[in-house]
């Protein structure tokens, strides 16, 4: 079920009313969350429910077994490793089996061995990478002693399947989300209203910005060989905002929707296109995934505690694995390697941890240095997204080559309306870059301080969203 669909427009208020006014006791409320979430997820294909149920039950059981074997280190390790391996095997079969099989066959062929590989027609379950990583983090946290395993199986099923963030994140930690299903929740009017604002902003980013960019992006990338360099640059620029509007828009809708039910989800985006270097960009982009890799891969590898060269090695591993997480295509791995290379100079000179503050704090406009840093970082990110979007490595290389060798600025023929929506997005987010999302109201005043201005903006954004509601484009990250 898509957030931008008519079905969800009916589903959400119905679930909201039943949640607060019918299923009031905690255990019934949690059970209803599970039922609603399984309906939401099974809307695509009921067979997906079998996999998520297996993942959930195995992770729940592993937590209890790890506790049962307290003091028996070897058995605890075996249980933890078995559950991790089981989940990764399921993920690997559905997401990577054909990729590795095809490439292994090509390798054998290059070595002179003939191998006929049969590609399996496997349907990729929506959001499998997201809920798998969420389940893995629970098992690892229990093993580490960061959280006590729960015996409340209904609450645990709600934690894994909570529908707002089920298929595209944020990838929640058990330390944050699970305890919220173990205590009674009370309706908070202010929190719910704030959630509605975030939902509106997310829908604008998805349906107005991302979906309008998608029309021009698809046309440009499909026929890039016959287009001039500036048009190709516009295509890369539009995809840069398409993926941001699409993914951060989903996160805003998810976080806002969760707030309607008294649940707080972690922040997933922090205005990444205002970053002053690539390290800052990665602290602000898909925060739930980057921190997941940091805590469960980078730190266990030694992090930055074992010398500069091992730190570089660990960083490369993180970016390559992150690229692979996004899909079974060499373009994603190349995209990860590209970002790792951009990260290296900052890591070597020790500047990768700079810029943790808000850019141009307390000022309307950035300094010339800050503006230059933002522009340079943004252009490097655009090149990376072109690699990410291309069908294969050859197309990515040819696209970028044509873009830089035939670059003559002119009035763009593609995506003019999308550029206007992008401008609105960037202005609003720049003015509220010190807040959790673009329409959040704070005590500091700002653009939304006056009721008249606030409601005028709400109406304009809602009208734009309704005018762009003719199609139901799936979210890009559903495929991951």
| pLDDT tens track for 94-140 | 887 777 677 667 666 777 777 666 666 677 788 899 999 999 999 99
User: Is residue 445's pLDDT more than 90?
Assistant: no
- Omega prior to 192 cis, within 30 of 0: no
Domain ranges of the chain: 6-185, 190-276+355-479
Q: What is the rounded distance in angstroms from the CA atom of residue 41 to the CA atom of residue 286?
A: 22
User: Would you call 326 a catalytic residue per the annotation?
Assistant: yes
User: Is residue 270's pLDDT more than 90?
Assistant: yes
Q: What is the rounded distance in angstroms from the CA atom of residue 269 to the CA atom of residue 285?
A: 5
**Angle at CA 296, nearest 5°, toward 101 and 142?**
115
Q: What is the rounded distance in angstroms from the CA atom of residue 55 to the CA atom of residue 52?
A: 5
User: One of 286, 326, 410, 414 is an active-site residue; which one?
Assistant: 326
The confidence band for 278, taking pLDDT boundaries of 50, 70 and 90, is very high
Report the pLDDT averaged over residues 357-371.
92
Report the pLDDT averaged over residues 173-202.
94
Q: What is the rounded distance in angstroms from the CA atom of residue 315 to the CA atom of residue 339?
A: 10
The residue among 149 and 473 whose pLDDT is bigger is: 149
Q: Give the residue among 294, 293, 243 at the shortest CA–CA distance from 269.
A: 243
């Amino acid at each position: 079920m898509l957030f931008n669909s008519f079905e969800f427009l009916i589903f959400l208020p119905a679930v909201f009313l039943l949640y607060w006014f019918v299923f009031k006791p905690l255990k019934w409320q949690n059970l209803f969350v599970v039922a609603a979430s399984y309906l939401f997820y099974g809307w695509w294909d009921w067979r997906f429910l079998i996999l998520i149920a297996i993942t959930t039950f195995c992770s729940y059981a592993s937590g209890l077994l790890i506790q049962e074997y307290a003091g028996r280190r070897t058995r605890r390790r075996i249980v933890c490793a078995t559950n991790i391996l089981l989940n990764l095997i399921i993920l690997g079969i559905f997401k990577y089996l054909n990729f590795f099989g095809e490439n292994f066959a090509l390798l054998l062929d290059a070595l002179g061995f003939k191998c006929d590989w049969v590609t399996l027609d496997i349907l990729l379950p929506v959001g499998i990478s997201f809920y798998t990583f969420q389940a893995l983090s629970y098992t690892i946290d229990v093993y580490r002693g960061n959280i006590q395993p729960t015996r409340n199986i209904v609450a645990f099923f709600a934690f894994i399947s909570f529908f707002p963030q089920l298929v595209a994140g944020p990838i929640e930690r058990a330390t944050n989300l699970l305890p919220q299903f173990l205590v009674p929740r009370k309706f908070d009017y202010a929190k719910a209203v704030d959630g509605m604002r975030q939902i509106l902003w997310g829908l604008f980013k998805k349906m107005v910005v991302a979906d309008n960019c998608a029309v021009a992006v698809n046309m440009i990338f499909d026929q890039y060989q016959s287009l001039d360099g500036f048009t190709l640059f516009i295509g890369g620029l539009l995809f840069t905002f398409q993926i941001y509007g699409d993914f951060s828009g989903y996160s805003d809708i998810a976080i806002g929707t969760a707030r309607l039910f008294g649940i707080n989800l972690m922040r997933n985006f922090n205005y990444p296109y205002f970053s002053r270097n690539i390290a800052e960009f990665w602290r602000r982009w898909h925060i739930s995934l980057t921190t997941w890799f940091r805590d469960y891969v980078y730190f266990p590898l030694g992090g930055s505690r074992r010398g500069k060269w091992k730190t570089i090695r660990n960083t490369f591993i993180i970016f390559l694995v992150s690229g692979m997480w996004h899909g079974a295509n060499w373009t994603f791995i190349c995209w990860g390697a590209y970002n790792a290379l951009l990260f290296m100079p900052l890591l070597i000179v020790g500047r990768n941890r700079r810029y943790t503050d808000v850019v141009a704090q307390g000022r309307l406009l950035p300094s010339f240095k800050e503006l230059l840093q933002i522009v340079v970082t943004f252009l490097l990110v655009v090149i990376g997204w072109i690699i990410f979007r291309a069908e294969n490595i050859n197309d990515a290389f040819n696209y970028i080559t044509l873009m830089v060798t035939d670059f003559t600025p002119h009035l763009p023929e593609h995506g003019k309306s999308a550029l206007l929506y992008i401008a609105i997005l960037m202005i609003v987010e720049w003015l509220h870059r010190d807040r959790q999302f673009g329409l959040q109201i704070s005590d500091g005043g700002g653009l939304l301080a006056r009721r008249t201005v606030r409601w005028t903006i709400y109406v304009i954004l809602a009208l734009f969203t309704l005018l762009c509601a003719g199609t139901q484009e799936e979210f890009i990250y559903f495929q991951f």
